[in-house]
């Protein structure tokens, strides 16, 4: 599964650089926002 995902990413990066660049920004931003929410929720649970 990892290999097919990696192959898909490599192909996208080579065939459509703009799509890849937009995807990099969007994915990093979404993961960062999600992490922030999870960490804030954890802090509340731990009462820190």
Partner 1 sequence: MYFPIAGVEVNPLALVLIGFTAGVCGAFFGIGGAFMVTPALNLFGFPMAYAIGTDLAHVMGKSIVATLKHRLLGNIDFKLGGLMILGTVPGVEVGKRLILHLERIEQVDVVVRYVYILLLGSIGLFILWELLKNSHHQEGAHSEPPVHSIARRVQRITIPPMVLLPRSRLRLSLWAILGIGFATGLAAGFLGVGGGFIRVPALIYFLGVPTLVAIGTDLLEIVVSGGYGAFTYSLANRVDILAALIMLLGAGVGAHIGAICTVYIESVRIRLYFASAVLLAALSVVLKQLSVSLGAESLKTSASYLIVASALIISVVIIVTALLRLRKGRQQHVSIVPQPQEPD
Find out whether 19 and 12 touch, Cβ atoms under 8 Å: yes
Residue nearer to partner 1 on the CB measure, 14 or 45: 14
29 binds partner 1 (CB under 8 A): yes
Question: What are the angstrom distances between the C-alpha of 46 and each of 40, 41, 42, 43?
Answer: 10, 9, 6, 5
7 binds partner 1 (CB under 8 A): yes
Residues that bind partner 1 (CB under 8 A): 6-7, 9-10, 13-14, 17-18, 20-25, 27-29, 31-33, 35-36, 39-40, 48
């Amino acid at each position: 599964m990892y290999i097919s995902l990696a192959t898909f990413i490599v192909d996208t990066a080579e065939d459509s650089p703009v799509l890849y660049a937009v995807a990099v920004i969007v994915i990093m931003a979404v993961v960062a926002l999600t992490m922030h929410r999870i960490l804030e929720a954890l802090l509340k649970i731990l009462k820190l």
